[in-house]
Amino acid sequence: MDTFAKKIVMRKLKNEELGRKSIEEYKRASKIPIVILLDNVRSLNNIGSIFRTADAFLIEAIYLCGITAKPPHKDIQKTALGATESVEWKYFEDTIDAIKESKKAGYKIIIVEQIDKSISLSEFYPEINAKYVFVFGNEITGVDERLLTYGDKFVEIFQSGTKHSLNIAVSVGIVIWDIFNKQTGIK
Protein backbone atom coordinates (compact mmCIF):
# COMPACT_ATOMS: atom_id res chain seq x y z
CA MET A 1 0.00 0.00 0.00
CA ASP A 2 1.17 3.51 -0.80
CA THR A 3 2.86 4.96 2.28
CA PHE A 4 0.91 8.20 1.78
CA ALA A 5 -2.49 6.51 1.50
CA LYS A 6 -4.69 6.56 4.55
CA LYS A 7 -5.41 3.19 6.05
CA ILE A 8 -9.13 3.86 6.18
CA VAL A 9 -11.19 1.32 4.31
CA MET A 10 -13.51 3.00 1.83
CA ARG A 11 -15.44 1.88 -1.18
CA LYS A 12 -17.43 3.49 -3.91
CA LEU A 13 -21.18 3.07 -3.65
CA LYS A 14 -22.88 0.77 -6.14
CA ASN A 15 -25.64 2.16 -8.33
CA GLU A 16 -28.31 0.27 -6.40
CA GLU A 17 -27.13 1.91 -3.17
CA LEU A 18 -27.64 5.46 -4.50
CA GLY A 19 -31.44 5.47 -4.23
CA ARG A 20 -31.91 6.54 -7.83
CA LYS A 21 -35.41 6.98 -9.13
CA SER A 22 -36.77 5.12 -12.10
CA ILE A 23 -38.02 7.31 -14.95
CA GLU A 24 -41.59 6.68 -13.79
CA GLU A 25 -40.72 7.66 -10.19
CA TYR A 26 -38.93 10.77 -11.46
CA LYS A 27 -41.94 11.84 -13.51
CA ARG A 28 -44.24 11.44 -10.45
CA ALA A 29 -41.85 13.17 -8.03
CA SER A 30 -42.41 16.76 -6.88
CA LYS A 31 -40.17 19.07 -8.85
CA ILE A 32 -38.33 22.23 -7.90
CA PRO A 33 -40.38 25.05 -9.53
CA ILE A 34 -37.61 26.03 -11.90
CA VAL A 35 -37.44 26.04 -15.69
CA ILE A 36 -34.09 26.28 -17.46
CA LEU A 37 -34.48 28.30 -20.67
CA LEU A 38 -31.75 27.91 -23.28
CA ASP A 39 -31.61 30.84 -25.71
CA ASN A 40 -29.89 29.80 -28.96
CA VAL A 41 -27.43 27.33 -27.43
CA ARG A 42 -25.44 25.75 -30.22
CA SER A 43 -23.50 22.89 -28.60
CA LEU A 44 -25.33 19.57 -28.48
CA ASN A 45 -22.97 18.34 -25.77
CA ASN A 46 -23.85 21.36 -23.61
CA ILE A 47 -27.56 20.69 -24.13
CA GLY A 48 -27.14 17.06 -23.06
CA SER A 49 -25.14 18.06 -20.01
CA ILE A 50 -27.85 20.55 -19.01
CA PHE A 51 -30.46 17.79 -19.25
CA ARG A 52 -28.38 15.74 -16.78
CA THR A 53 -28.14 18.70 -14.39
CA ALA A 54 -31.90 19.25 -14.63
CA ASP A 55 -32.50 15.58 -13.84
CA ALA A 56 -30.07 15.60 -10.90
CA PHE A 57 -31.90 18.47 -9.17
CA LEU A 58 -35.52 17.58 -10.08
CA ILE A 59 -35.99 20.65 -12.25
CA GLU A 60 -39.48 21.12 -13.63
CA ALA A 61 -38.56 21.56 -17.31
CA ILE A 62 -36.16 22.81 -19.93
CA TYR A 63 -37.24 25.22 -22.66
CA LEU A 64 -35.19 24.90 -25.83
CA CYS A 65 -35.37 28.07 -27.94
CA GLY A 66 -34.23 29.25 -31.35
CA ILE A 67 -31.30 27.28 -32.78
CA THR A 68 -31.06 25.12 -29.63
CA ALA A 69 -31.29 21.51 -30.80
CA LYS A 70 -34.00 19.15 -29.55
CA PRO A 71 -33.91 15.50 -28.55
CA PRO A 72 -33.65 12.93 -29.88
CA HIS A 73 -30.15 13.52 -31.17
CA LYS A 74 -27.15 11.24 -30.67
CA ASP A 75 -24.84 14.09 -29.59
CA ILE A 76 -27.34 15.28 -26.97
CA GLN A 77 -27.79 11.70 -25.76
CA LYS A 78 -24.02 11.23 -25.46
CA THR A 79 -23.91 13.63 -22.49
CA ALA A 80 -27.56 13.44 -21.32
CA LEU A 81 -27.22 9.70 -20.60
CA GLY A 82 -30.99 9.22 -20.73
CA ALA A 83 -32.03 12.43 -18.95
CA THR A 84 -34.01 13.49 -22.03
CA GLU A 85 -36.42 10.69 -21.08
CA SER A 86 -36.97 11.95 -17.53
CA VAL A 87 -36.88 15.75 -17.82
CA GLU A 88 -39.82 17.52 -19.44
CA TRP A 89 -38.85 19.83 -22.28
CA LYS A 90 -40.54 22.09 -24.76
CA TYR A 91 -39.31 23.80 -27.92
CA PHE A 92 -40.02 27.44 -28.84
CA GLU A 93 -38.91 28.91 -32.15
CA ASP A 94 -38.82 32.39 -30.56
CA THR A 95 -37.42 32.81 -27.04
CA ILE A 96 -39.74 35.75 -26.39
CA ASP A 97 -42.75 33.42 -26.83
CA ALA A 98 -41.31 31.12 -24.15
CA ILE A 99 -40.81 34.05 -21.78
CA LYS A 100 -44.30 35.47 -22.38
CA GLU A 101 -45.89 32.06 -21.79
CA SER A 102 -43.86 31.67 -18.60
CA LYS A 103 -44.81 35.12 -17.29
CA LYS A 104 -48.47 34.39 -18.01
CA ALA A 105 -48.12 31.19 -15.93
CA GLY A 106 -46.72 33.18 -12.98
CA TYR A 107 -43.00 32.53 -13.36
CA LYS A 108 -40.40 35.16 -12.51
CA ILE A 109 -37.78 35.58 -15.22
CA ILE A 110 -34.18 35.53 -14.01
CA ILE A 111 -31.65 36.32 -16.71
CA VAL A 112 -28.16 34.96 -16.10
CA GLU A 113 -25.93 37.49 -17.79
CA GLN A 114 -23.24 40.05 -17.06
CA ILE A 115 -25.02 43.38 -17.37
CA ASP A 116 -24.86 46.69 -15.53
CA LYS A 117 -27.91 45.82 -13.40
CA SER A 118 -26.95 42.26 -12.45
CA ILE A 119 -26.27 41.06 -8.93
CA SER A 120 -23.98 38.26 -7.87
CA LEU A 121 -25.64 34.85 -7.68
CA SER A 122 -24.54 34.73 -4.03
CA GLU A 123 -26.78 37.76 -3.34
CA PHE A 124 -29.87 36.28 -5.01
CA TYR A 125 -32.29 34.47 -2.72
CA PRO A 126 -35.38 32.85 -4.23
CA GLU A 127 -38.72 33.80 -2.74
CA ILE A 128 -40.66 31.09 -0.94
CA ASN A 129 -43.30 29.51 -3.21
CA ALA A 130 -42.13 31.49 -6.26
CA LYS A 131 -41.65 29.85 -9.66
CA TYR A 132 -38.62 30.79 -11.73
CA VAL A 133 -37.34 30.62 -15.28
CA PHE A 134 -33.57 30.96 -15.48
CA VAL A 135 -32.49 32.21 -18.91
CA PHE A 136 -29.08 31.17 -20.26
CA GLY A 137 -27.69 32.41 -23.57
CA ASN A 138 -25.59 31.43 -26.53
CA GLU A 139 -22.03 30.26 -25.87
CA ILE A 140 -20.51 33.19 -27.78
CA THR A 141 -22.99 36.08 -27.63
CA GLY A 142 -24.80 35.34 -24.35
CA VAL A 143 -28.46 36.14 -23.78
CA ASP A 144 -30.08 38.00 -26.68
CA GLU A 145 -30.29 41.68 -25.73
CA ARG A 146 -33.98 41.78 -26.80
CA LEU A 147 -34.75 39.58 -23.78
CA LEU A 148 -33.40 41.98 -21.16
CA THR A 149 -36.64 43.98 -21.00
CA TYR A 150 -38.45 40.82 -19.84
CA GLY A 151 -36.16 40.07 -16.90
CA ASP A 152 -37.44 40.41 -13.36
CA LYS A 153 -33.91 40.04 -11.99
CA PHE A 154 -30.45 39.63 -13.45
CA VAL A 155 -27.78 37.49 -11.84
CA GLU A 156 -24.21 36.69 -12.70
CA ILE A 157 -21.64 34.26 -11.39
CA PHE A 158 -18.80 36.28 -9.88
CA GLN A 159 -15.47 35.42 -11.49
CA SER A 160 -12.01 36.80 -10.96
CA GLY A 161 -9.93 35.21 -13.73
CA THR A 162 -8.99 36.63 -17.12
CA LYS A 163 -11.81 35.10 -19.20
CA HIS A 164 -14.87 36.24 -17.22
CA SER A 165 -16.98 33.57 -18.83
CA LEU A 166 -17.82 29.96 -18.13
CA ASN A 167 -19.05 27.18 -20.34
CA ILE A 168 -22.86 27.34 -20.38
CA ALA A 169 -23.27 23.82 -18.98
CA VAL A 170 -20.96 24.76 -16.10
CA SER A 171 -22.91 28.00 -15.53
CA VAL A 172 -26.22 26.12 -15.44
CA GLY A 173 -24.75 23.63 -12.98
CA ILE A 174 -23.49 26.35 -10.65
CA VAL A 175 -26.75 28.35 -10.73
CA ILE A 176 -29.07 25.36 -10.33
CA TRP A 177 -26.98 23.84 -7.52
CA ASP A 178 -26.96 27.19 -5.71
CA ILE A 179 -30.73 27.73 -6.08
CA PHE A 180 -31.48 24.10 -5.16
CA ASN A 181 -29.48 24.52 -1.95
CA LYS A 182 -31.16 27.83 -1.12
CA GLN A 183 -34.65 26.45 -1.75
CA THR A 184 -34.26 23.09 -0.06
CA GLY A 185 -31.63 23.73 2.59
CA ILE A 186 -29.85 20.56 1.44
CA LYS A 187 -26.09 21.00 1.19
pLDDT tens, position by position, 51-92? 999 999 999 999 999 999 999 999 999 999 999 999 999 999
Q: What is the pTM of this model?
A: 0.92
pLDDT tens, position by position, 6-23? 667 888 998 888 888 999
Locate all alpha helices (DSSP H) within 30-141, ordered by sequence. 44-56, 74-80, 83-86, 95-104
Rounded Cα gap, residues 159 and 162, in angstroms: 9
Domain architecture of the chain: domains with CATH: 21-184 (3.40.1280.10)
